[in-house]
Amino acid sequence: MKSFCGNYLKKLHIGNITAGSNVFMAPLAGYTCYPFRMMCRRLGAGLAFTEMVSANGLKYNDKATAKLLYTTDEESPKAVQLLGSVPSAFEYACKGEYTKDYDIVDINMGCPVPNIVKSGEGCALTQDLPLASRIIEACKRSGKTVTVKFRPGMNKSRIVVSEFARMCEDSGADMITVHGRTRNMMYDGEPVYEYIDAAKRAVNIPVIANGGIRSEEDAVRMMDRTGADGVMIARYGLEDPMIFARLTGRKTDATKLSLILDQAELAQSCFDETAAMEYVRKIASYFMKKIPGTKNYKQEMFRCGSMEELKKILVPIFGETEI
C-alpha cells in the first residue's frame, strides 16, 4: 500500500503563507481551542483551525466569542474560522483587534446544522454565490490570507461545487477545502470523491479534501481519487490525534496518557480551572472511546472537584494504554 508520508506529504503554499505539512485539523465547535490545536501541530498538522467564531460576535465585542481566539507566539501560522452572512461584519472582524494575531481567515460555508442554515450562514451560502463572493472580497480587504471551507451543495440535485470553487478563486480565495458530503448527508455516509475532484479540476488554487478520513488508507484513497493538494482530518482527530504523526512521519513517543496530561497543563495555562477541567473531560472522553468500562471512568471524571484530582483519575485509565 502507498504511504501518505512517502507519496503525498508536502509543504503547502497558501497565498503568502507556507504550512509545514498538507495535513490539517478541521475547525470543530467546542473542541479546537488552543491546547488541542497545539497538540495537533506538535504531532505534525500543518494547520489547525480555531472552532468557528461568529463574525457578528466579534463586531459586537462579545467576550465569550473573543475567548475562542486565545493563542500564543508558539502557534504559527495561525488560522481562524469565521461564520456569518454579513460582508461588513466579516471585514470588521478581519481588520479588528481580536484577529490581529491570525495569519489565515477561513470562511465557514459548509456547516450543515439547521439553525445555522436557517440563518443564511454556513452551507446556505452555497446557494447564494453573489453574497458568498462579497464575503470573500470583504475578508481579502484585510490583507490576510483567505480560505473557504464548503460543501458541494445542499443535496445531490443541487450540486454547485465547480461553479462555487471558481467563484471562490475569482473572489480572491487563496485555498478551498471541500467536504465531500452534501448538506443533507450531514456527517454520514462515504464522501463523494467526484465532488472534490470536480473542485480540483475547476481551480488553480490549492484544494484540501475533507470527510471520512479515519486512517492512512482513507487519506491515501482520498488523494488518489480526488487529486487534492492535502487532507483535513475532522472528528477522528479527537479520537486519535496520533493520525497526524502517522500521516506526516513525525517521530514521537507520545501515549494517550502523556497527551492528555499535556493537554491538562496547557488548558490550565490559558483557562480558569473550571473551564480547563471541562475541556479535559471532553477530550479524555474521546480518547477512551475504545477502552472497556468507559461509563464508570466518565462518572469518576465528572465527580472530580479539582484538576489535580482529575489527573489522578486519568493516570490509571490511560496508564497502560498506548495510543
185 DSSP assignment: G
Tell me how far apart the alpha carbons of residues 27 and 108 are, in angstroms, rounded to a whole number. 9
Q: How many CB atoms lie within 10 A of CB 216?
A: 16
CA atoms of 235 and 31, how far apart (whole Å): 10
CA distance 216 to 253: 19
* 56, 85 Cβ separation under 8 angstroms: no
Question: Most distant CA pair in the chain: distance in Å?
Answer: 55
C-alpha span between 31 and 50 (Å, rounded): 9
- CA-based nearest residue to 178, from 148, 205, 142, 218: 148
Pick the catalytic residue from 40, 111, 123, 168: 111
Cα–Cα dist 198/153, whole Å: 13
Q: Is omega for the bond preceding 292 within 30 degrees of 0, making it cis? A: no
- Grid cell 495569519 — which residue? 103
- CA dist 267 and 273 (Å) reads 8
Residue 53, SS3 per DSSP: strand
Measure the CA–CA gap between 242 and 263, rounded to whole angstroms.
Answer: 14
Residue 111 bears catalytic tag: yes
Is residue 193 classed as helix, strand or coil in its secondary structure? helix
| Amino acid symbol at 57 | G
Which residues are the active-site residues? 111
